[in-house]
Amino acid sequence: MLVDAGLACLARGGIQAFTIDNICREADASRGLITHHFGSKDGLLAAVYAAAYRPFLAEVSPEQGSGPDLPHLIEVAFSDALFSRDNLNIWLALWSEVAVNDQLRSEHRKHYALYKASVMTAIERQAKSQKKSVDAESLAISFIALVDGYWLEQHIDPVGLSAERAKAACRTMFEPILGSLSAT
């Protein structure tokens, strides 16, 4: 309930609204519960970061099977489930705090590594199916940066950049290197 309250506070007012008092009021909980369960406000913020990342990682990091394919990753990155004003507010708050908060930066690195590994797996699968040799890590980093930029731009101006246009741009980046992105 404290993590959900933290997400609600970030969605409503950004990092400035992520206060112990606001979180406790939102969760109808005592201040001591934050220290008891998370050690500190920063510990709770790290747990909130993990909770915000979790739905996306669940989609891009399947537990069973051979892993995701690139068409799936592109679809997930721009799915309606990830696009909301609340998500934009939450991620803008978290990203700005990552730059100045060591504990949150550590949490970010852990989740980014999982995301990058899933993308690398998808790239390697695609490259293997096309009998191509590629630098999967560099391509994964480029893809993640492209998705982050398109995701942000689509939130800022959904009329100027549609989800379909963002997906097409991602395919345009990969196809000259990896061939057609039909599901592998």
Tens digits of per-residue pLDDT, 95-150? 999 999 999 999 999 999 999 999 999 999 999 999 999 999 999 999 999 999 99
> Looking at the predicted structure, is the pLDDT value of residue 93 above 70?
yes
Structure tokens at 103: 């504990």
> Looking at the predicted structure, is the pLDDT value of residue 184 above 50?
no
> How far is Cα 138 from Cα 140, in angstroms, rounded to an integer?
5
Q: How confident is the model at residue 48 (pLDDT cuts 50, 70, 90)?
A: very high
> How far is Cα 19 from Cα 41, in angstroms, rounded to an integer?
8
Average pLDDT taken over every residue of the chain? 90
> How far is Cα 131 from Cα 151, in angstroms, rounded to an integer?
31
pTM for the whole structure: 0.87
| Segment 57-80 mean pLDDT | 79
> How far is Cα 25 from Cα 5, in angstroms, rounded to an integer?
8
With CA atoms as reference, report the closest residue to 81 among 58, 50, 55: 55
> How far is Cα 171 from Cα 78, in angstroms, rounded to an integer?
13
> How far is Cα 59 from Cα 76, in angstroms, rounded to an integer?
7
Q: Report pLDDT digits (tens) over 7-29.
A: 999 999 999 999 999 999 999 99
Please, is 32 exposed, middle or buried when counting C-beta atoms within 10 Å of its C-beta (0-12, 13-18, 19+)? exposed
The answer to which of 58-72, 101-115, 159-173 has the lowest mean pLDDT is 58-72
DSSP letters, 56-89, are: HHHHHS-SSTT---HHHHHHHHT-GGG--HHHHH
Structure tokens at 107: 């949490």
With CA atoms as reference, report the closest residue to 168 among 140, 155, 156, 154: 154
The predicted pLDDT at position 14 comes to: 95
Percent of the chain with pLDDT over 70: 95
> Looking at the predicted structure, is the pLDDT value of residue 57 above 90?
no
The answer to which of 50-64, 81-95, 109-123 has the lowest mean pLDDT is 50-64
CA atoms within 13 A on the CB side of 134: 25
